[in-house]
Structure 1
Amino acid sequence: MPMVGLGTWKNSDPEACAESVATALETGYRHIDTAQAYGNEDAVGNGIEQAAVDREDVFLATKIWIDNLAYDDVLETAEASLDRLGVDSVDLLYVHWPSRTYEAEETLAAFNELYDQGKIDRIGVSNFEPEQLAEAIELSDAPIFANQIEIHPLLQQEELREVCADHDVELVAYSPLARGEVFDIPEIESIADDHGVSPAQISLAWLRHHGITAIPKATGADHIQDNWASLSVSLSDAEIETIDSIETTDRRVDPDFGPWNN
């Protein structure tokens, strides 16, 4: 799984979304993330088709929404997602949230059926706390490959990082720039100035240092390219320690149905 991907949340204009996906792939990205709830799987598929990149070179992920997690609904809506994306299979399919129609045994049985059918290459979960993650690992015959969560220098998720490492589950960071809040953090601004790069690149480099894949949303070519350039940024141990020491906690995605609220 490439460590920098393109997030497409709220990128709902079909033409703009397809263009951003194609631009990202032509910039060098090979990881594209979408979801049923984003309403843009058609556009993401069009962007992949437009780019001069072979489908087999693209790590494509989508997510099953919380209304569709009953067994039959998983199977039916996963097929619909594949049709919208214009692909025979996806590299990674996530349970978007452990909420509403999610019943761990039933939901994961459907995901395993899709896995056995070759329609998904990997099973993922998203927004799972340690207890939900442990249950999913126990119930799923196929490995739980990744947990996609909000994580950034203002929400460092130390416990989940340890739990995922213990279970050999990859971490994928959504909102890795805290929806722009990291741009105004003095420690990050200072390190960015020292490197002559953007605060976004510093935040993404910090995640990469900790072995965390990031999928920042970007629509314009400038932001797409700036985020991609973070792969060239190496932080010193002292700089990592400075960011690790940020004590602010700022969760930007906090719905009532989030498992930490229940």
Structure 2
Amino acid sequence: VATDTNGSVAFTTSMRRTGNSDDFISGRNATFENKQLKLQLSTTAEVYTTDFYFNENSTLALDPGYDAGIWGDTAGSFSIYSELVDANTGLDMAIQSLPFENLETMVIPLGIHSNANEQITVSIAESGLPTAIDVYLEDRQNNTFTLLTASDFVITPGTTLDAIGRFYLRFSVETLNTVGSELDAIKIFTTQTPRLLTVNGQLFQDTTLKLYDVRGRLVLTEQLNENTLNHKIDLYRLQDGVYVVELNNAYQRKSQKVIIW
């Protein structure tokens, strides 16, 4: 409840309604799916969260009844929040509701407010998203992508964080096992002896391959030729661990976790 003037608000017994055929939430039916993602910002002394919901009734713009701005419209000195993907007016959102469609092209502006020279951690506090959906935090100042579904984002900023424009939330959907899908024909795997990353399959265009570690740091970039069906990339300089391979051209995009050992 919000008001611009002083006054009182009453919830009386006469307002109650009973029934057994509806949950009283407009537009929701028995098959309605509403998947939650809760992001948490924390220090050794403080915790703050912001929520995202994904359902068939929401859009990228403001959805009355689904989206909610931060109390007082402006985020505090320690907070994490989002702004609307579409028709963004700069409102700091505590809750943002979004569609499932086109997750891989969705870029959600994130705001983080925190003190200079104090370590902060961004993590997934709760998630009802399918396991096939990976969640990334993009830091455009440091040019990193952190796979939040695998590890937390930890940073000690040298200056106070108090604005939008540096951090973004992104998603990657693992390839579905659909017969005839051209991405299923592209196989990505590593071998120990020889220590190689192999990309096998038909690329529709010259393709950029990027390899990220679990902290989202770009550790390798290669250009793949569309006329070559079997690409082998030497990994001898990389440490053992879990990495994320990203293939990207104008027609195809695929992300996959691999283990180098």
TM superposition score normalised by structure 1: 0.26
- Bigger radius of gyration, 1 or 2? 2
Give the number of the structure with larger relative contact order, counting CA–CA contacts within 8 Å between residues 6 or more apart: 1
Structure with the higher helix share, 1 or 2? 1
Structure with the higher strand share, 1 or 2? 2
TM superposition score normalised by structure 2: 0.26
